């Protein structure tokens, strides 16, 4: 269906100031962005004071339209916006010839271009980057670039190939004249080229006075390629052996960390045992010197450094003394069973009469039993580790002897 704009275009009648002048790219793409908002519309649809922004967004859309009665999809969203051409004149284009400055053959091609771009260089020629290969004179070569392994004609041939193939040394090595000159490797060609560049850079310092030439280490490159070739030529048996050795190395590192952790834990247990012994001796001496009715006050001053730390029952109200003999929740079930088993072997009552002295001594005994249990576990782990290392040592001796 034809619109009013189509009729005006057919009749060549385009009124208004906005339709004057040629059509630009901004007019086609950003036509909606050029429309300014009126002050009256801003005042009319201003959000009332106190109304939340989310509620106001439900009342009006971006175009300030009333909400529809039925669900509809009239917004642009992520769809491509339609071009609004209007009645402006299209920019003039012309079928014209052009030349590419990046080409050396001077070929003339044709394409459509704007009249404003007539006579300008081809837009894509700026991406043609070439390598600047150094040039030297006969006197410079004889004084500074002379080499016993290279002649001037061979050096000229190398630099000519470098200029033609933009320092692609694999291609240079493929196109190198090995019949007229000596057979050269890629590393030999690189070493000669970069040595010439470095010497010429010293003779002709740059404007800043510092030359940033690439230093090529030919011996390192040869060793690297030799190593890669050996790695590539490995047999499946060698690959499997290497993977096995890597796994064994990881196991050894894990065992080393585990041994260090166990040694640290054993050291902590030994320190705790020594501290516990010193604490018990101090308690016995204090018990002999002090009166019996001051035993509770004296034992409360001695710090707890044994295997179990019993909490202080200092809650308000009446409490039973037997609550002080209750094991804390931090003690695991294995330790509780080990304590009960050792108490049964020692024929010690599990629930003794909770007097002041019995409670303190019973708690100290169970703390020492827990410490003894941890020391036995650490000793068993160390003995197992020692046997494992001894068997491995014997196996290595047998392999070496065989």
SS (H, E, C) 170-237: HHHHHHCCCCCCCCCCHHHHHHHHHHHHHHHHHHCCCCCCCCCCCCCCHHHHHHHHHHHHHHHCCCHH
- Interval 151-160 mean pLDDT: 92
Domain chopping of the chain, boundaries: 4-90, 93-127, 138-232, 239-312+322-401
User: How confident is the model at residue 189, as a pLDDT?
Assistant: 92
Backbone φ and ψ for 156, nearest 5 degrees, come out as -65, -40
Q: How far apart are CA 192 and CA 178, in angstroms?
A: 16
Task: Give the residue with greater pLDDT, 117 vs 271.
Answer: 117
Q: How far apart are CA 348 and CA 325, in angstroms?
A: 14
Dmax over CA atoms of the chain, in Å, equals 125
- Separation of first and last alpha carbons in the chain: 99
If residue 108 lies in a helix (H) or strand (E), which one and from where to where? strand 108-114
Spatial CB neighbours of 346, under 8 Å, sequence gap ≥ 6 = none
pLDDT above 70 covers a percentage of the chain that reads: 69
Q: How far apart are CA 162 and CA 172, in angstroms?
A: 7
Determine the 3-state secondary structure of 107 from DSSP: coil
pLDDT of 265-314, one tens digit each?
Answer: 777 777 777 776 677 677 666 655 554 444 443 443 333 444 676 766 66
- Interval 387-395 mean pLDDT: 83
- Can you read off the two tokens belonging to residue 321? 């003394």
User: What's CA 144's distance to the chain center, in Å?
Assistant: 48
User: How confident is the model at residue 303, as a pLDDT?
Assistant: 39
> Residue written as tokens 């000669």?
192
Number of C-alpha atoms within 13 angstroms, CB side, residue 133?
16
Residue 252 above 60 pLDDT?
yes
Give the pLDDT band of residue 210 (cuts 50, 70, 90). very low
Give the pLDDT band of residue 315 (cuts 50, 70, 90). low
Give the pLDDT band of residue 377 (cuts 50, 70, 90). confident
Per DSSP, the chain holds a count of helices (H) and strands (E) of 13, 4
Task: Give the residue with greater pLDDT, 350 vs 159.
Answer: 159
Q: For 138-232, which CATH class?
A: mainly alpha
Q: How far apart are CA 30 and CA 23, in angstroms?
A: 12
User: How confident is the model at residue 297, as a pLDDT?
Assistant: 38
Q: How far apart are CA 283 and CA 15, in angstroms?
A: 111
Backbone φ and ψ for 346, nearest 5 degrees, come out as -85, 0
Percent of the chain that is helix, strand, coil (3-state, to 5): 55, 5, 40
Asked if 128 and 150 touch (Cβ cutoff 8 Å), the reply is: no
Asked if 125 and 56 touch (Cβ cutoff 8 Å), the reply is: no
pLDDT of 77-115, one tens digit each?
Answer: 566 666 666 667 788 899 999 888 888 888 889 999 998
Residue 134 above 70 pLDDT?
yes
* CA 145-148-152 angle, 5° bins: 50
Q: How far apart are CA 303 and CA 276, in angstroms?
A: 10
Number of C-alpha atoms within 13 angstroms, CB side, residue 271?
6
User: How confident is the model at residue 302, as a pLDDT?
Assistant: 39
Name, of 14-23, 63-72, 129-138, 205-214, the range with top average pLDDT. Answer: 129-138
Burial class of 176 by CB neighbour count within 10 A (0 to 12, 13 to 18, 19+): buried
> Residue written as tokens 């303190």?
360
User: How confident is the model at residue 288, as a pLDDT?
Assistant: 56
Asked if 325 and 311 touch (Cβ cutoff 8 Å), the reply is: no
Determine the 3-state secondary structure of 62 from DSSP: coil
User: How confident is the model at residue 205, as a pLDDT?
Assistant: 72
Residue 206 above 80 pLDDT?
no
Q: Given its phi and psi angles, is residue 398 left (phi above 0), alpha (psi -120 to 50 degrees) or beta?
A: alpha
Q: Any idea which of 119-128, 143-152, 273-282, 300-309 has the lowest mean pLDDT?
A: 300-309
| Mean residue pLDDT across the chain | 77
> Residue written as tokens 């308690």?
283
């Amino acid at each position: 269906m034809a619109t009013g704009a189509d009729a005006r275009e057919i009749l060549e009648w385009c009124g208004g100031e906005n339709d004057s002048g040629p059509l630009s790219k901004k007019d086609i793409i950003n036509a909606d962005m050029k429309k300014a908002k009126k002050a009256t519309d801003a005042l009319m649809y201003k959000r009332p004071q106190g109304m939340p922004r989310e509620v106001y967004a439900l009342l009006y859309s971006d175009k300030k339209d009333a909400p529809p009665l039925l669900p509809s999809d009239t917004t642009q969203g992520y769809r491509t916006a339609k071009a609004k051409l209007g009645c402006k004149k299209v920019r003039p284009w012309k079928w014209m010839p052009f030349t590419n400055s990046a080409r050396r053959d001077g070929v003339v091609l044709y394409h459509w271009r704007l009249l404003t771009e007539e006579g300008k260089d081809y837009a894509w020629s700026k991406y043609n980057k070439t390598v600047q290969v150094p040039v030297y004179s006969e006197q410079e070569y004889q004084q500074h670039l002379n080499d016993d392994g290279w002649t001037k004609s061979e050096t000229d041939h190398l630099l000519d190939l470098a200029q033609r193939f933009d320092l692609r040394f694999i291609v240079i090595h493929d196109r190198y004249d090995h019949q007229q000159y000596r057979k050269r490797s890629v590393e030999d060609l690189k070493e000669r080229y970069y040595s010439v560049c470095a010497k010429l850079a010293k003779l002709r310092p740059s404007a800043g006075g510092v030359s940033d030439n690439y230093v090529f280490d030919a011996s390192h490159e040869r060793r690297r390629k030799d190593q890669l070739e050996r790695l590539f030529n490995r047999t499946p048996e060698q690959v499997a052996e290497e993977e096995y050795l890597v796994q064994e190395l990881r196991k050894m590192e894990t065992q080393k960390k585990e041994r260090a952790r166990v040694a640290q834990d054993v050291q902590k247990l030994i320190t705790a045992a020594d501290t516990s012994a010193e604490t018990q001796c101090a308690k016995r001496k204090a018990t002999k010197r002090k009166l019996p009715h001051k035993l509770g006050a004296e034992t409360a001053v001695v710090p707890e450094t044994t295997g179990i730390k019993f909490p202080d029952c200092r809650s308000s109200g009446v409490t039973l003394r037997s609550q002080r003999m209750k094991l804390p929740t931090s003690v695991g079930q294995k330790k509780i069973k080990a304590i009960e088993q050792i108490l049964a072997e020692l024929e010690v009552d599990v629930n003794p009469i909770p007097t002041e002295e019995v409670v303190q001594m019973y708690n100290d005994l169970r703390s020492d039993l827990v410490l003894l249990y941890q020391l036995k576990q650490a000793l068993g782990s160390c003995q197992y580790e020692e046997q494992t290392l001894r068997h491995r040592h014997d196996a290595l001796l047998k392999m070496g002897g065989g």
